[in-house]
Amino acid sequence: MKFQLEWKKIIICFTAVFGMGFFLSFLMLCGLGTDPCSFMNKSVSTRIGMSFGNYQLIVNAVMLLFVILTRRDLLGFGTIFNMVLVGYYVDFFDWVWLKVIPASAFTNTLSRWGIFLPALICFVISAAVYINCNMGVAPYDAIPKYLTDKTVARFPKFPGMLVRILWDFTAVLIGTLAGGIPVIGIILMTLFLGPFISLINKLFFHPKKKEDAKT
């Protein structure tokens, strides 16, 4: 029974990672903002002339070494799915959309926002589901978890969520220095992705029982 449950979680995690890559490809083509990690990796990969998928895999592999030494408990199937697949999903779907969707759809203001907003919502939901599956997280997500635990243990009153926000802003800064433009979508995701992930966790993965709600 437990084995079957784990397979269900693996399938859900894999599907969520697919959704992240699928919707991230739209976000990148619209140019109105992505998550901080993707913004950083896309900016640097474009600057050095490497494919997004290849560069993202290399960066994740380097970060993975640190996570193996510090928080192995954060690794799992979700780690592999995210660090290997998301970047290549984006490369593949970028190629597909530019073949089947007119380029003007990603430059016209009305259609651009019409694509961006639903894709942003679906990406955030996919990311929240992937993280809350507890099947392991990408090295980029594992490092701020480690830093948060260490910071809060040393300074109990320090707001743990601030660590993740600072981590994401660092990624945005690196992407900006590499030539990327931190548009509104990136700033919004930097500020609200973490809190939204926590909200999804409370609502769908660890909802309070009715008895608790009454007390």
Output the DSSP codes for 83-100: HHHHHHHHHHHHHHHHHH
Note the pLDDT tens digit of each residue in 60-73: 999 999 999 988 88
Low-confidence ranges of the chain (pLDDT < 70): 1-5, 190, 194, 197, 200-201, 204-215
- Rounded (10°) CA dihedral 164, 168, 170, 175: 170
Note the pLDDT tens digit of each residue in 7-31: 888 898 999 999 999 999 999 999 8
- d(CA 175, CA 99) in angstroms, rounded, equals 27
